[in-house]
Amino acid sequence: MGTPADSASASGEACAETLAPAAQGQRLPDIGRDGLDVLRQAAHGANARLEALLHGVAVGVLFVGREGRVDLVNRSFCRMLGVACAGELVGQPGGAVAHRLSDRFADPAAFARQGLLGGGGRLALADGRVLSRELLPVGDGEAHGMLVLLREVSAAVESAAEVEPLHTVSHVDELTGLPNRRGFLAQASRRLRRAAQQGRTSTLLCVDVEGTRTINARLGHTAGDRALEEVAALLRLAFGDSDLVGRLGGDEFAVLALDVTEAQQPEILARLAREVALLNARPARSWRLSLGVGAACFDAVHRPLVEDLLALADARLHAWKRARPGRRD
């Protein structure tokens, strides 16, 4: 494994509110095995936090409304089928969307003919991947529409153990909607196994939000929670849909950036610094955010475990914090 780039720090002001705080006392429901309750509430637009959770799940989600139009598409669905952004599909008739996506499949004519809601539970893609498809009606009594859930299945081993599971509450951070430590480690481990099989390099970043104790002391814990939500939104903005962002706990986040080599790490850290600086320039903010970042590199030859990568990135982060002048909490 090559020597990772030095840790870096970026400072800036919290961004404009992107994830509205949940109503006082509101808790995420127990979504159980298949996550249907959360997906139903997200499809109905229950609140912004549940929508953030929907976009954080590894399962591809598309909602076809009662009138047959696509009303919602999450990031994982776009990633699986190579769609640049959800806006290309939302608002379009389901049949038109099926024709638009048909060239992604091993049998384009069959998919175009059967549409999003027809055919079997297995979908073979033109690139050799296999997707499992599950259809879930939404609504009590009269149906409001249909959820289409896509999950990636190994083309070689299509057992249930190879299907990346839906998130449950135990894998999701309630505040930000990101994977928590347990969920992040599980997803990152699967992605690194695939990266090793494909000979791809990745970078793991450990991100520390500085100054949260000061924000809590001056403005209260509600403000501190909002600051953490803003960091989650910033990381989503700074990194691509194919990258994995998680909250490890407290004021610590992690990012697994695919296809980022050691030589590209300074560019990634500089991009993150620019995003934070742009937020810092916004007027009339009650606090400023400062981020410390430690980086570690994964390569397909040495294949370190994700836990070892995280420990290395965290150690570099804390070494940088101890060495810098003017240390903050």
- 3-class secondary structure, 292: strand
8-19+176-323 domain in CATH 3.30.70.270? yes
pLDDT at 147: 85
Q: CB neighbours (10 Å) of residue 160?
A: 8
- List pLDDT tens digits, range 5-38: 333 333 333 332 222 233 333 333 344 444 555 5
Residue 11's Cβ-count burial label (10 Å; 0-12, 13-18, 19+) is middle
pLDDT at 161: 40
pLDDT at 37: 53
Q: Region 232-246: what's the mean pLDDT?
A: 86
* pLDDT over threshold 50, residue 167: no
pLDDT at 160: 39
CA–CA separation, 211 vs 250, rounded Å?
12
Q: Region 170-194: what's the mean pLDDT?
A: 87
CATH number of 36-158: 3.30.450.20
Beta strand segments in the chain, E:
8-13, 60-65, 70-73, 122-124, 130-138, 145-153, 202-210, 244-249, 252-258, 288-298
pLDDT at 123: 85
* pLDDT over threshold 60, residue 1: no
CA quadruple 165, 169, 175, 179: dihedral, nearest 10 = -30
**Domain ranges across the chain:** 8-19+176-323, 36-158
Q: CB neighbours (10 Å) of residue 316?
A: 20
Cβ neighbors of 133 (< 8 A, separation 6 or more) are: 119, 120, 121, 122, 123, 148, 149, 150
* pLDDT over threshold 70, residue 196: yes
- List pLDDT tens digits, range 305-320: 889 999 999 999 988 8
CA–CA separation, 147 vs 116, rounded Å?
10
Q: Region 180-206: what's the mean pLDDT?
A: 89
CA distances 311 to 51, 174, 190, 239, 327, Å, are 31, 24, 18, 21, 21
